Amino acid sequence: MVKKICLIASSGGHFDELQRLTELEEKYLIYKVTEQTSYLSADKDTYLLKQVNRTEPLLIIKLLWNSFVSLKIFIREKPDIIISTGALAVIPTFFIGKIFRKKLIFIESFANVNSPTLTGRLLYKICNIFIVQWEELQAFYPDAIYLGSIY
């Protein structure tokens, strides 16, 4: 049976990085989740969440809404593996995946060379596989797998 993978990331650079994992589409069923923006629309394989910014006053409300929508998507799609490059919009899906004992893979953003991301710090302990692209980040994530640039 072919495994199903959820590729989830916030809009912009995080989602751009994630979309470069195109070779996965040759072996697995893939669906994507990202944030709704003015320049991106959903297609049959992409679900959209509310865009989340950690400095906005509606942060908690949007995270709760995204949690509800993420659970609906998770139940509909039933992924075996969840892969992300961050940021905040992915947190509900990762915790849902953890509850349902799915394989969680986080790839720390290529843009962060010397310091961890907030999302990476929040998800590090619950991931099955945590990947860093810069050796310097292993000081923050001692159990991470260093692969260098995977893009």
* DSSP structure string for 40-64: B---TTEEEE----TTSTTHHHHHH
pLDDT given at position 150 = 77
pLDDT band (50, 70, 90) for residue 67: very high
Q: What's the mean per-residue pLDDT of the chain?
A: 91
- DSSP state, 69? H
Residue 43 reports pLDDT greater than 80: no
Q: What percent of the chain has pLDDT over 70?
A: 95
Q: What is the arithmetic mean of pLDDT over 63-78?
A: 96
Pairing of strands 29-35, 81-86: unpaired
Distance in angstroms (rounded) separating the CA atoms of residues 104 and 82: 5
Amino acid present at 62: K
Among candidates 46, 105, 111, which has minimal Cα distance to 73?
46
Residue range 4-146 in CATH 1.10.1370.30: no
Phi, psi of 48 (to 5 degrees): -120, 140
CA distances to 29, 78, 135 from 108, in Å: 23, 24, 11
Picking from 10-14, 72-76, 117-121, 124-128, which range would have the lowest pLDDT averaged per residue? 10-14
Distance in angstroms (rounded) separating the CA atoms of residues 110 and 150: 9
pLDDT given at position 141 = 97
The structural domains of the chain, with segments of one domain joined by +, span: 4-146
Tens digit of pLDDT for each residue in 81-102? 999 998 889 999 999 999 999 9
Query: What SS3 class is residue 10?
Result: coil
